Amino acid sequence: MRIHKEGHQMLIILGVVLSSLNVGVFFATDSTNLIFGISLSLSLIIFLLVLQFFRHPKVHITATPYEVLAPAEGKVVVIEETEETEYFNDRRIQISIFMSPINVHVNRNPIAGVVKYVKYHAGKYLVAWHPKSSTENERTTIVVRNEEGVEILMRQIAGALARRIKWYVAEQDSVQQGKEFGFIKFGSRVDVFLPIGTDIKVAIGDRTQGGKTVLAELKS
């Protein structure tokens, strides 16, 4: 299992802290003491939970020019027509994917194209499913334009637990469909804003796989 680069430092620190804790418990009690056994078991569970959060599975991408792939693994919690006021300033179809702590937190490009806009916003840490989290929470907005001139907006949104948003693209970068553009630590959500009239292929409650699930099909 590959571990994402965002987890390397945290896992080392966590391993040192837990090891030190258990060494202290060992010498303070006894290697056969129930307290030491409980401490060791809990430490192992905690480490494995954090380890699985930073897993980075390989994904086979089948690139298609008209399909919009899911940018994240999680659950579809919003599909609605709404006013997008940061970049487009018009009506768009919003699809929101909620990522729980057990999901893979790699964020992937829904389409191939050129990055036209990147902006980070400091903000609040409302729960990710809160209606105002898309406009008031800490977030990063990224817009990609494909060869046909169609623009897709992705918004990484921090939640109550997720307080570290990472993005690896800049304006004018060329990006490939399904390739990684960012990472959000410890649960949150990603919004995708599509042109009105886009053929939506998912429903509320559907589970998605980043870079594999087809969210929608753009008009040719």
Known catalytic residues are: 188
Radius of gyration, alpha carbons of the chain: 20
CB 106, CB 180: distance < 8 Å: yes
Query: Who's near 21: CB < 8 A, 6+ residues apart?
Result: 39, 43
Q: Classify 113 as helix, strand or coil.
A: strand
